[in-house]
Amino acid sequence: MTTVRHEATVPLTAAGRRFDQSLAEMFPDYSRSRLTAWIKDGKVLLDGAPVAPRTLLHGGESVVLEAELASEVGDAQPEDIALNVVYEDDDVMVIDKPVGLVVHPGAGNPAGTMLNALLHRLPALAELPRAGIVHRLDKDTSGLMVVAKTIAAQTALVTMLSRHDVHRQYEAVVLGTMVAGGTVDEAIGRHQHDRLKQGIRDVEQGGKEAVTHYRVRERFRGHTVLQCQLETGRTHQIRVHMAHIGHPLVGDQLYANGLRLPRGASQELIDALRGFRRQALHAEKLAFEHPITGEYLEFESPRPPDQDALIEALRADTVLNPIED
C-alpha cells in the first residue's frame, strides 16, 4: 500500500460544476472512477468535510485528497527477467519483446511474464492497472510494445489506442501465393467451441470491430511475406483474419491446418518449415505521439533470427523453383 496526499484549490471556473467532474480535471493522474470511489469513501474533503460526488461547486474551495493506493496487479511478484528496453523516459517505455515471453500472467502462466519483469524493473508500476501494460503481443509473437509508467500516460495511451492513433505494423509469413494486398474488416470474438481460439463473429453475437490492412512484400512459390497494419487490436487479430481469407500464418498451431509444402520443395525448405513451430509474426514498427509531451516517436525492430532464416529458405527455394504465374 502507498499513501498519497494532495491539496488543491477549486478553480473559480469550476463554479456550478459537479465535484467529481472537476476533481477528475484537477487530478488527471487518477481515473474518474477511482476518484469517485475516494469521494464516496470520505477520502477527499471539500473545505474540510466529506461530500457527495454530485455536490455543486462555488469555486475557491479547498480540496484535500488522502488515500491509499492498493496494488493493481493482484498476486504478481517482481522477477528478475531481462527486458530489451529500446526507449524510456519518465512516462513511457518501449520494449522489444522476444519470442516465448508471455505478457501478462494467466491460466498456465502464473509467473515468468513481462508484467513480473516490469515490477522488478520499476516497483511503482504495481500501482498501475496491469503494471502499465496497454496492449499485448501473443507469447510467440515478437516485437515492439509501449508500456505506461504513470496513470496519466496510461490513460492517454488507452484513449489513443481506442482512437487508432497508434501506428502498429507487423511482418507476417502466410501460406499461399498472394498477388495483391487488401483489407479484412471482420468482427472478432471468442470461438464458439474452443476457448483458446478467437473467430469471426458478428457484432450481434458478441464480436468486436476488427480491421487489418495488408500488402504483399514478397511472393514465393507457396508462401507470401505480408506487411500488416492494425486499425484495431483484438486478440489474435492478424492470425484470425489471415486464416479467414485462406492464408493462415506459417507455424500457427491454432489457426493453420497442418503443414503445407510447395510441390518439389527443397529439403532445406522442408526442414525450415517443419522446424518453425510458432506463428510467423513480428511487430516490426511502432509509432505514436508521446502521451504527455506530444513528441512524435517512431521505433523499428529487426526481424528475429528464426523468421529471417525462414524467409531466406523461401527465397532460396524460389530461385531454384521459380513462381509459375
Measured distance CA(241)–CA(261) in Å, rounded: 22
Question: Directed axis angle between helix 305-320 and helix 267-275, to 10°?
Answer: 150
Q: Are 23 and 63 in contact (CB under 8 A)?
A: yes
Among candidate residues 91, 96, 138, 252, the one labeled active-site is 138
User: Could you say which DSSP state residue 31 is in?
Assistant: -
Q: Are 188 and 205 in contact (CB under 8 A)?
A: no
Q: Are 208 and 188 in contact (CB under 8 A)?
A: yes
| Tally of helices (H runs) and strands (E runs) in the chain | 7, 15
The H-or-E segment that residue 232 falls in is none
Any bridge partners for residue 146, and if so which?
A: 94
User: Cell 526481424 identifies what position?
Assistant: 303
Q: Are 105 and 76 in contact (CB under 8 A)?
A: yes
Other CB atoms closer than 10 Å to residue 29's CB: what's the count?
14
Q: Are 250 and 243 in contact (CB under 8 A)?
A: no
SS3 152: helix
Is 138 labeled as catalytic in the residue annotation? yes
Which residue, among 136, 174, 181, 171, has the nearest Cα to 284 in the 3D structure?
171
Query: Which positions are annotated as active-site residues?
Result: 138
